Amino acid sequence: MIRFKPLQRSARIQAVVAALLVLSAPAVQAQRPDITRDVPDAAAGTAEAAPRLKPLPPPSLNFYGSPGIIDMPSADMLPDGQYAVSYSWFGGTSRYNITFQALPWLSASFRYNGIQTNGAQIAGFDTYYDRGFDVRARLWRERRWLPEVTMGLQDFAGTGVYAAEYFTATKRFEAAALGWGRTPGRLKVTAGLGWGRLGSHGAIASTGGQRPAFVGGDTGGELSYDQWFRGDVAPFAGLEWQPDDRWSLKAEYSSDAYTLETGAPNVFERKSSLNYGVEYQYSDRLRLGAYYLYGSEVGFTAQIQLNPNQPPTPMAVPASQPVAPRSQWATEEAHWRQDWAASVPKKQKIRDLAAEALKAEGLVLESITLKATEAELRYRNPRYRSASQAAGRAARALARTLPPSVETFRLVPVRRGTGLAAIELRRSDLEALEFSPEAADALFAASGVHDAGPQPQEAIVSAELYPAFTSSIGPYTEPAYFDPDQPFRLDVGLNLKASYAPAPGWRIAGAIRQRIWGNVQDGRASNSVLPHVRTDQVEYAQYGTTLESLYVSRFWKPGGDLYARTTAGLFESMYGGVSGEVLWKPVNSRLGLGVEANYVVQRDFDQRFSFRDYKTFTGHASAYAELGKGYQLQLDAGRYLAGDYGGTVTLDREFNNGFLVGAFFTLTNVSAEDFGEGSFDKGFRFSIPVDWFLGKPSRSSLGLTIRPTQRDGGQKVSVPDRLYGQVREAHRKSLEDQRARFWE
């Protein structure tokens, strides 16, 4: 039941009523593309058409890191896959925000904020730090007669300091549509209704139910669905005028009373509901803004937006040699009669030629099996992120070196001495389709992807592969997040890695770290009531020179569609032990099943060769699914490091260039009270491929996992060389998604 309140001050909603009237007016634009934000001209095709603006950059973000006006949300959505990081500050309140556009119609945000208290502490802190998650869903796109409409849940799983729900509508107009002649520019109008924080000022109705007041120091982390869209509802509205492609002028009417901040903490004085701002799009990725808020405060924002499909440096891959048609071999046909297949010296010569051709492409020949009309090449790919791109380079190398009688190529990418898949294609298709506009689709349709099987006994193996030794030295960073005394701590130093492969499938590897600078050691000691399986990070950070890892592992294929791994030694900075894993992953299936078992012992804080008393068995059964459009789902169930039982859900989105963004949560039999702040383990992760930055082929990535709170419940051991990621990249679904890169 909705109970309307009498409007004693109608002036405070006049701006909202005016905005709603504008929103109801007929628009002059067609459906707005998500990527360009380009709006068709109202007078297009006439002599008096207004000057066209360039396509706009993505919509700007509000102080909460979501598309919006200043402090209020708009209905905008970022381009699909967009990743935005922003910082905002005003009136003693700072907010660090991360937003990801997971689907064209769905976005999610994580926020870390600090509220200065001016002596009147919140939960015992002079500056109260808090974390929150937001989610937004577009209900419908903007149409000729309709605005774009979005529903949002703000701080829906935190302590509730910023908890709010809203519906918001946004409409865009060209200046010409407003009767402003040839004036360039665009006007964006937004209006909406908010609950919670966004219903705390100027409420016009109540939807019933009680919203409990915010309690500082609450553990948070649980969904407050019983409060959603309950209590007072208030209108908000705003305008954004874009005179050109760089500048934006903004004004809004805010429905947030800032009850907490203007109460005992006296963070700032709220004198007005009107906010004003100006923003400048410094570059395609950086936007800056300055504002005057609530009649008393000055604020600013800095926004950085990245899109995986728009790398800062275009990829510059050395061009591969073209396919050599067999007609060019005519002068040597006598030399390459089919009886070459019976000559061991000629086969060895062909192997050497193929090895040189592959080396020029950045690939390594492991073995080659030669018959009169077919050949199987097993190769290693240390350069290209895309298995399809590596296969294309390998196929063209064979076309330049194998005798003309060889018609069938069987390409087998190899990881740690084990074949991952077999890509079969006809040489004649390769020759015929090289310059076809439909080459990628046509060749993939004509090719087959099968299980690799064991290496043929008659294979000619490269004599220089084993034993193999590699080493590298580079910087490392070790962050620690969300300490109430200092939200971000960091250790930096040098990491020396080395590995030795004595035979196919075997690997001995390790890493030594030398910290150069850092302050993680100054963090707070653990207060966990569970075994301290992860929360003693401060204790492990007390030592400057550490042995990060030292282990021996074996990777092999025990049977069809089965892969296996065993690892023993020091897995990571906190644990060592014995680990085993088996993965069932058919090459043409999107599904995979795995089982992993680990017996681990906690390492001493100095991270040398000694151990602590804590020992435990941990392991999981896992299910993997490739959902399409780059989405990957992983479900784990089993026993975690603290002895708790439960399950983990992980959803990642990986783009064709290797850019990955994902989120996870774990629920176990540990109660929210015993778990502590955050109630259960959750977080998000991202991985940015190095070649996305550099524009040069590389398989390396820069990755980071962020948990709102690092606790001891729901924690896994980090074991090197887990199977699924290594195996999946060369199977059918990945090859199909990357098929266009076969010709790069």
| 474 and 423 within one domain | no
Is 317 a member of any domain?
no
Is 744 a member of any domain?
no
Is 311 a member of any domain?
no
| 525 and 392 within one domain | no
Q: According to the model, what pLDDT value does residue 677 have?
A: 83
d(CA 160, CA 688): 32
Q: Does position 211 have pLDDT exceeding 60, yes or no?
A: yes
d(CA 5, CA 1): 13
In angstroms, what is the C-alpha Rg of the chain? 30
Is 313 a member of any domain?
no
Mapping DSSP onto H, E and C, the string for 26-59 reads CCCCCCCCCCCCCCCCCCCCCCCCCCCCCCCCCC
**DSSP H helical ranges for 523-573:** 537-540
In our burial notation (b when 16+ CB lie closer than 10 A, e otherwise), range 534-548 reads: bbbbbbbbeeeebbb
Q: According to the model, what pLDDT value does residue 23 have?
A: 40
| 457 and 594 within one domain | no
d(CA 114, CA 111): 10
CATH number at residue 75: 2.40.160.40
Is 740 a member of any domain?
no
Query: Quick one: pLDDT band at residue 39, thresholds 50, 70, 90?
Result: very low
Poorest-confidence range of 461-470, 508-517, 632-641, 718-727?
Answer: 461-470
The per-residue pLDDT of the chain, averaged, comes to: 86
Is 742 a member of any domain?
no
Query: Which own/partner contact pairs does 393-396 have at CB distance under 8 Å and 24+ positions apart?
Result: 393/320, 393/358, 393/361, 393/362, 393/363, 394/358, 394/361, 394/363, 395/425, 395/430, 395/742, 396/320, 396/321, 396/322, 396/323, 396/361, 396/430
Query: Quick one: pLDDT band at residue 124, thresholds 50, 70, 90?
Result: low
Residue 31, judged by CB atoms within 10 A of its CB (0-12, 13-18, 19+), counts as exposed
Q: According to the model, what pLDDT value does residue 8 have?
A: 42
Question: What does the angle CA 694 – CA 696 – CA 697 come to, to the nearest 5 degrees?
Answer: 125
Confirm if 567 and 721 have CB atoms less than 8 A apart: yes
The tally of domains found in the chain comes to: 3
As given in the structure block, the two tokens for residue 102 are 């997971």
Query: Quick one: pLDDT band at residue 245, thresholds 50, 70, 90?
Result: confident
Query: Quick one: pLDDT band at residue 263, thresholds 50, 70, 90?
Result: confident
d(CA 702, CA 610): 30
Q: Does position 91 have pLDDT exceeding 90, yes or no?
A: no
pLDDT in tens, 363-383: 999 999 999 899 999 999 999
Higher pLDDT, 245 or 277: 277
| 529 and 678 within one domain | yes
Query: Quick one: pLDDT band at residue 170, thresholds 50, 70, 90?
Result: very high
Last residue of some domain: 449, 465, 481? Answer: 465
| 455 and 521 within one domain | no
Poorest-confidence range of 98-102, 172-176, 445-449?
Answer: 172-176
| 577 and 514 within one domain | yes
Higher pLDDT, 27 or 283: 283
pLDDT in tens, 687-730: 999 888 888 888 888 888 988 889 999 999 999 999 999 999 99
Poorest-confidence range of 234-238, 284-288, 644-648?
Answer: 284-288
Last residue of some domain: 276, 306, 336? Answer: 306
Last residue of some domain: 444, 465, 486? Answer: 465
Poorest-confidence range of 25-39, 56-70, 537-551, 584-598?
Answer: 25-39
Can you tell me which residue has the tokens 């500056």? 127
Q: Which of 301, 257, 252 is nearest to 73 (CA)?
A: 252
pLDDT in tens, 581-608: 999 999 999 999 999 999 999 999 999 9
Q: Does position 49 have pLDDT exceeding 80, yes or no?
A: no
| 482 and 366 within one domain | no
| 697 and 592 within one domain | yes
What share of the chain in percent tops pLDDT 90?
59
Higher pLDDT, 161 or 15: 161
Q: According to the model, what pLDDT value does residue 47 have?
A: 33
Higher pLDDT, 178 or 544: 544
| 222 and 105 within one domain | yes
CATH number at residue 332: 3.30.300
Q: According to the model, what pLDDT value does residue 328 have?
A: 60
- How far, CA to CA in Å, does 370 sit from each of 323, 374, 378, 452? 19, 6, 12, 16
- The SS3 assignment for 395 reads helix
| 246 and 298 within one domain | yes
Confirm if 363 and 390 have CB atoms less than 8 A apart: yes
Q: According to the model, what pLDDT value does residue 612 have?
A: 96
pLDDT in tens, 325-368: 776 654 455 455 557 777 888 889 999 999 999 999 999 999 99
Residue 444, judged by CB atoms within 10 A of its CB (0-12, 13-18, 19+), counts as buried
Q: Does position 470 have pLDDT exceeding 70, yes or no?
A: yes
Q: Which of 700, 592, 600, 604 is nearest to 636 (CA)?
A: 592
| 86 and 190 within one domain | yes
| 183 and 137 within one domain | yes
Q: Does position 88 have pLDDT exceeding 90, yes or no?
A: yes
Q: According to the model, what pLDDT value does residue 395 have?
A: 94
pLDDT in tens, 396-429: 999 989 988 899 999 999 999 899 999 999 999 9
Q: According to the model, what pLDDT value does residue 484 have?
A: 75
Is 2 a member of any domain?
no
Is 6 a member of any domain?
no
Q: Choose the most confident range, by mean pLDDT, from 237-241, 455-459, 656-660, 740-744.
A: 237-241
Q: According to the model, what pLDDT value does residue 12 have?
A: 40
Domain that holds residue 677: 468-732
Report the 10 Å Cβ neighbour count for 30: 11
Q: According to the model, what pLDDT value does residue 182 have?
A: 66
Q: Does position 140 have pLDDT exceeding 60, yes or no?
A: yes
Q: According to the model, what pLDDT value does residue 28 have?
A: 35
- The SS3 assignment for 155 reads coil
Chain-centre distance for alpha carbon 26: 39
Q: According to the model, what pLDDT value does residue 34 have?
A: 38
Higher pLDDT, 334 or 233: 233
d(CA 56, CA 35): 9
d(CA 159, CA 227): 13
